[in-house]
Structure 1
């Protein structure tokens, strides 16, 4: 082929457009920032800021506006980061391409490529457009960013008429992928948005991010607070006017008390609780990009997980060997040194099994991988078993590394072997021959070791090794070998065959090795934890169906469910998919569109979906999911920027730990919302009922400010540091429609707030009736109010335990916050300078006893009236 002429290329460029991904509509940063102030709670706080400033309460106004700005900045940063996801795709496109135009090869900008162009690709090149190969020599391509599978894909020319642009085709190369080895020429069949990468770009633009469950609940809470504020303001105003008080004065009083009803510390406390959870998760290997996603993860009812590297080790491991007509098992996984070659439950010395020994030698010599074989000083190492506790350091092809590790477990090391058998010649693996050979010195002559596909190894052999002897390879033995290979393949093992061939002789068949990327032990435990927590774990992978199902079975993920391929998924309508979705827990051989469709299907059913992934192919589904999770080790920048969370260790178990933290965060938010609202209701009722009963003003503005900024804030923040409760991962996930005040929380809040208010008024009126001064009565009321709240904070530690059964010692921050609040109260009452500021006086022992008595009566009465019945 001679390619296109320049004239033809220009005409097609005008017709089809440039070979570039579609640019997303950009939102101006200022518009994005102003959009953070649309929330109901934020609008209430802004109104409170203006009113506080008008009334001269500048400290309140400054505090509230700082809280609002902090939340707006955090929200802006999260949204701005999300907007960068699409721009990251552009960095994956090749800047230039070698193309044949007008009968000669030339370099042109990749954006000028058109369908029909003939491009040349070599090792190290980035593929500039989707193209069909017309020539290829030993070409292998890394397609992991599109398929999620890290293993190199061999490429070869196919039917010239086969130009259908779908994934997983041997004769196609895809834009954004990298040529690892070999070279070839290909005809461009898709450019720009028509490429597989372009389709992913379009999917990303179609995804709209919704509010998280927590944001929806906080918005709902904001509406409730707004209604309460209006009702309080109206009630105080009417009560005062009916008593004959001046209209303007009562309007200002009503507004002041309504502002006291606003839990202005709530947004800051929520933000702090989420930030603290982020810090804890970071220590466990989970980096959070979007703050509210921490809590959303706690609601997750479905986790859609990739297979490779997330549920599995992402390291091939030899688990089965068949040599000399005998079966052997290899224990240990990945690059861990510990492991053994076993037979019938006992470790085997390969020196006593010639066929096994020769197979391990063959796998060791017929390799270009390297293994760091230095052991820790305290390791114990015997033939057939290695009990070292360290980890190997390896370079090279994952399959060859697995063979080297298996040989080390059998006591056979590569470096000593190479000294004994220096390499003379290597025949590298080729997609056509599907085998690799290495010729080494052996005594006075040479010997060639072979490994590769079974059919290509068997055709070299006329002998086999059995019982330490070389025997003719009969037809019956060939059938037996094929049957054994099929049995290993049925276990989803990748099967390699081995042979040796001495100079001038036919090949001797040595045996088979079966290997797999095994599930992580921690992933199996995490999947069981998810099952107890009624969270469905679903594997979505680009791997083959049998392999995916086998891994799922080993990981404990199938549990009577079935596996479905992407092709089978395409045959279903959305209605049919929704109807049968519960029957499947494995989806194999899927493309980016399938992943996005599955996430949307689960969300249609009302599920809260967490989606993990590492490639560009995962980015649309990651962005669509309620919580998108990217891999930190092997993930692409696009996946990481589309995600709400990044796992630095690529481990499924880390994600499940994060789910527990998410549940803990929501539980803690309920705890301090309960605390703040109970306290605020107590404060409002104290002022409101005092006015209705014709009493003097119970608490002065400076005293209310002391309560709100110090004794309310510090304990509430400390409640955000409560550790997860033991039963956190035994409960089902919360439903998205569940009220923030579910399970009787609002009733407990109102009851406790009423009791705090009544207790504070009781202390105030008792002191007055006993002849105490107004200043003493107010000081006693202040002490009662604060002490009641500090006792109540311990009640808020649990929704199922009473004040007498909660764990006091599991949160030292809370104990510290209570002590600080008590110290502030003591200073305000005892220090003359602070007495002037807060209008307090030194109480007598009797007055102090009355204040303490009303404070302790409140939790005792609340414990009796608010006790939850046992279920």
Structure 2
């Protein structure tokens, strides 16, 4: 074929542009980093840093600035990583192309290709542009990067007028896909952003990253805290000045109390809690690219899952065999060595079934795949099952590999067969004939084995094996075989027929049905999601019947229906939103369909987790609230677009991550409850003391000691709380649900008020009993810290009281409280620290008063909760 001239190519290159994917406008890394400091809470913390440094508290200032920098660095890394996604996509295109220019073949940079160029493709090539095939010989292409389906796609030349580059077309090859076998010539029909890969790059550019639900809640909390700090500072300052206190002293006191009101430990504690959850998830096979996505997983209400490799094993497995008029089942999945050949539940030795033995022999010899194990294999002679542990190492076509594994389970080894029957000639699989043959030595002569589509093999056969004998194959019997093929196909099995040419007789051997079976762990995960009221949806490029059958086996349908991409195109957004609940499977979809489905679920207020492994999944992964990529089978583009990467490609791992996400959010609520209750108690202690005409109850250094002792280790240790047993038995949180839902804000204020009243009570009683001002302050300090350390155990659960709490499930918290108690004791009993913190030694009576006020409120609260809980149970 002549192709274009150089002049024509240059004109089209100027008109259409180079064959490259779109490059996004890059943001300078410095601007990206500085943009991390726009958050309200960050600004409050920076202000607190300045004030702390002004007051001489350099340790606090350094601590706060480190917290701010850590959060900024994490945010910068996430944004910078997102910028690399499009760059990885650009690297997938082929660097060069074999093209016919000026009547001769030459190799040029792929970016110089234009529409109308004639290109040549060979096995091992990456397709440089979308092109229509003009000739093809045994061409098979791996399109998983675009469709998500790993099975090789056979291609053949089509009509010269058919030049649309829609997906799933037999006469079109797509940029970025790989030629597995065969050769072809094709005419370029789309380049650059007009290719299927280019359309994906455009979609990736259009997707905007949004704040996670937790980030939105923390931003709202920051505004509340900012108003609270300003209000407290102003109120304390005015109250003190009106009482006649020195203006400068009251200004410093007001600022100190405002700092006490700031939960400066909150950002650090949130980051640490998320980081610890990331560590736990990593041990279970989930790598997190974006910290806040851990919590977002916890409120996921819809999981949009790919089929291949996520719900299924991603390995074709022979499950049914029909040979000699008898039906057999094959156990074991994927590349597992263990497995058996069963008939009506009982083990069968293929040596006793000639037709079955010949079928496995045909499947093993008529193959280009290889299978081996590094471990020595036991002899399988006269056995009905293989019991070896481990998996096979394989190379070759997944279908042929499945047949070799099934033959090994029946004790038939390809290596042994090849030694006895060397290959004389092989006719590879052809997309037009849809069959393959191999001629091997057989004693003094030769025989030929055939395998392929049943409607291509059956017409060749005039005989069949029956009980070890070769008998004629009649038309009525062929009709029975065709019905068997339909029955197996209805079960989503890929069906192959087998035959043996011995002399002039072509003998039908039987059928093998295979599929990519659902993972057992995926079935369990889908049931867990159902209990947690999380909807699991399958979105796949596979055929509708196959997807539906797998969904049934995995327990995913549950009365729902399946929809194809073509049917999806026929719906408006409003129609789709109205019927979305009726469907659990979306089959034969392209990247735009996946993106549209994710957006449809999000329009309905759902929090969406989207899994995928191919370039075709990248836009939907990036658009979803939580994008999840496969670590084993996933492309670099998918992994970089994702928030979470599953190292084992297993849906069960994602469900474990959801549980961790729910645990993280519960723990964040726990330490927010703890920190705010404590801070409210501190503020009220100071504010009410001033209003009641008392001396300043706690000095600024004593307030800073309280923050050091209570806002640090105990709050962090609360972030280590394990998931509660009922975590995956509750519905997911709604995205617009308040952070303080279920009465949390009321409990925070109530407990903070009680802490403040208890501290003032301790101060007043010690003072009224003749204690010095320093002793009263020391008693108040002890009461405030002790009551907060008791309260930390109350915050372990929102349902249990102190009497029913599990104390042993978080020893880090027990240790943190003991360390805090030790710091308090040192501040009172170490002479040098007594000078720094203005404390004095307390008498036994004064210590008893402080401890009594600390314990009275939580004990009364727990007793009340215990009786009210019993009353609720009786009412139920």
Interval of TM-score (by shorter of Structure 1 and Structure 2): over 0.9
Q: How many angstroms does 1:382 deviate by?
A: 6.1
The answer to whether the Cα contact below 8 Å between 2:492 and 2:545 also exists between their aligned partners in 1 is yes
Report the Cα distance in structure 1 between the residues aligned to 2:852 and 2:365, rounded to whole angstroms: 84
Moved more, 343-352 or 533-542: 343-352
Q: CA offset at residue 197 of structure 1?
A: 0.6
Aligned equivalent of 1:244: 244
Deviations 1:512-549 (A, max 9, x none): 00000000000000000000000000000000000000
Separation (CA, whole Å) in 1 of partners of 2:148 and 2:373? 31
CA contact (8 A) 2:295 2:662 kept: yes
C-alpha separation between the residues in 1 aligned to 2:776 and 2:153? 82
CA apart distance, 1:380: 9.5
For residues 377 and 16 of structure 1, what CA distance do their matches in structure 2 show? 59
1:674 aligns with 2:673: yes
Q: For 1:324-339, what aligned pairs fall within 5 Å after superposition?
A: 324-339=324-339
Specify the alignment match of 1:755 in structure 2: 754
User: Residue 634 of structure 2 corresponds to which residue in structure 1?
Assistant: 635
Q: Do the aligned partners of residues 816 and 850 (structure 1) sit closer, same or farther apart at CA in structure 2, a change above 3 Å counting?
A: same
Aligned position for 2:532: 533
Gapped regions of structure 2 (runs ≥ 5): none
2:188 is the alignment partner of 1:188: yes
SS in 2 for 1:638: helix
1:186 match: secondary structure: strand
Does the 8 Å CA contact 1:333/1:518 hold for their aligned counterparts? yes
Which residue pairs with 2:234 in the alignment? 234
Could you tell me how far 1:414 is from its partner in structure 2? 2.2
Offset from partner CA, 1:450-498 (integer Å, 9 cap, x none): 1111122123211011122111111111111111111111111000101
- Measure the CA separation in 1 of the matches of 2:211 and 2:41: 15
Structure 2 CA distance for aligned equivalents of residues 471 and 374 of structure 1: 42
Equivalences for 1:270-281 in 2 at 5 Å? Answer: 270-281=270-281
Shift of 1:387: 3.0
Partner deviation per Cα, 1:690-730 (whole Å, 9 max, x = no partner): 21122222222222222212332101101111110000000
2:201 is equivalent to residue 207 of structure 1: no
Change in 2 beyond 3 A, CA 1:792/1:113: same
Equivalent residue number for residue 851 of structure 1: 850
Q: Which residue of structure 2 lines up, in the alignment, with residue 442 of structure 1?
A: 442
Partner of 1:10: 10
CA distance in 2: counterparts of 1:407 and 1:22, whole angstroms: 49
Q: Is the 8 A contact 1:380 1:388 kept in 2?
A: no
Conserved 8 A contact 1:298-1:666: yes
Give the Cα–Cα distance (whole angstroms) in 1 for the partners of residues 758 and 454 of structure 2.
85
Q: Which residue of 1 aligns with 2:644?
A: 645
Deviation at 1:239, TM superposition (A): 1.6
Secondary structure at the aligned position of 2:258 is classed as helix
Q: Which residue of 2 aligns with 1:506?
A: 505
Name the counterpart of 1:301. 301
The 3-state SS of whatever aligns with 1:428 is strand
The secondary structure found in structure 2 opposite 1:429 is: strand
CA RMSD of aligned residues (A): 1.7
How far apart are the structure 2 equivalents of 1:86 and 1:612?
Answer: 19
SS of 1:107's partner is strand
Partner of 1:99, secondary structure, is strand
2:622 matched residue in structure 1: 623
Q: 1:218 to 1:378 in 2, by over 3 A?
A: farther
Partner of 2:467: 467
**1:304, 1:611 within 8 Å by CA — same for their partners in 2?**
yes
Deviation at residue 750 of structure 1 after TM alignment? 0.8
Any idea what the Cα deviations from partners look like across 1:264-320, whole Å, max 9, x if unmatched?
A: 010000000000000000000000000000000000000000000000000111111
Aligned to 1:91: 91
- Give 1:381 deviation, angstroms: 8.8
Displacement of 1:596 = 0.2
Encode CA deviations 1:316-335: one digit per residue, 9 max, x unaligned. Answer: 11111111111111112111
Larger deviation: 355-364 or 230-239?
230-239
The whole-number CA distance in structure 2 between the counterparts of 1:115 and 1:604 is 39
| C-alpha distance in 2 between matches for 1:666 and 1:184 | 55
- My pick for the range that moved more, 682-691 or 384-393, is 384-393
Question: Using the alignment, how far apart are the partners of 2:439 and 2:123 within structure 1?
Answer: 26
1:546-565 deviation digits (Å, cap 9, x = unpaired)? 00000000000001111111
Report Cα offsets for 1:377-404 as digits up to 9, x if no partner: 9999962222333222222221112112
Describe the superposition over 1:1-30 as per-residue Cα deviations: whole angstroms up to 9, x where unpaired: 311111111111111111111111111111
The answer on whether the counterparts of 2:351 and 2:382 sit within 8 Å (CA) in structure 1 is no
Aligned to 2:734: 735
Distance 2:272 2:770 in 1: 45
- Quick check: 1:755–1:862 contact (8 Å CA) kept in 2? no
The number of equivalent residue pairs is 870
Deviation at 1:222, TM superposition (A): 0.7
Aligned to 2:576: 577
For residues 395 and 90 of structure 1, the distance between their equivalents in structure 2, rounded to whole angstroms, comes to 29
Change (3 A) 1:742 1:208: same
Structure 1 stretch 656-665 or stretch 419-428: which is displaced more?
419-428
Q: How much has 1:501 moved relative to structure 2?
A: 1.3
Tell me what 1:359 maps to: 359
Which is worse superposed, 772-781 or 722-731? 772-781
Q: How much does 1:622 deviate?
A: 0.2
Unaligned 5+ runs, structure 1: none
Distance 2:168 2:541 in 1: 9
- Partner residue of 1:493? 493
Please state how far the C-alpha of 1:374 moved relative to its aligned partner.
6.3
Q: Does the Cα contact within 8 Å between 2:380 and 2:411 map onto a contact in 1?
A: no
Matches for 1:56-135 after TM superposition, within 5 Å: 56-135=56-135
Q: In structure 2, do the counterparts of structure 1 residues 590 and 723 end up closer, same or farther at CA, with 3 Å as the change threshold?
A: same
Q: Which residue of 1 aligns with 2:152?
A: 152
Answering whether residue 290 of structure 2 is matched by residue 290 of structure 1, we say: yes
**Which secondary structure does the structure 2 equivalent of 1:585 belong to?**
strand
- Residue 420 of structure 1 is matched in structure 2 by 420
Contact persistence 2:302–2:534 (CA under 8 A)? yes
For 2:95 and 2:827, how far apart are their aligned partners in 1? 69
Shift of 1:866: 6.6
Task: Report what 1:22 is aligned to.
Answer: 22
* SS of equivalent residue, structure 2 residue 712: helix
Q: Distance in 1 between matches of 2:259 and 2:823?
A: 23
CA contact (8 A) 1:376 1:388 kept: no
Matches within 5 A, 1:457-856: 457-502=457-502, 504-856=503-855
- Structure 2 counterpart SS, 1:136: strand
Q: Is the 8 A contact 1:381 1:387 kept in 2?
A: no
Contact 1:379 1:388 in 2 (8 A): no
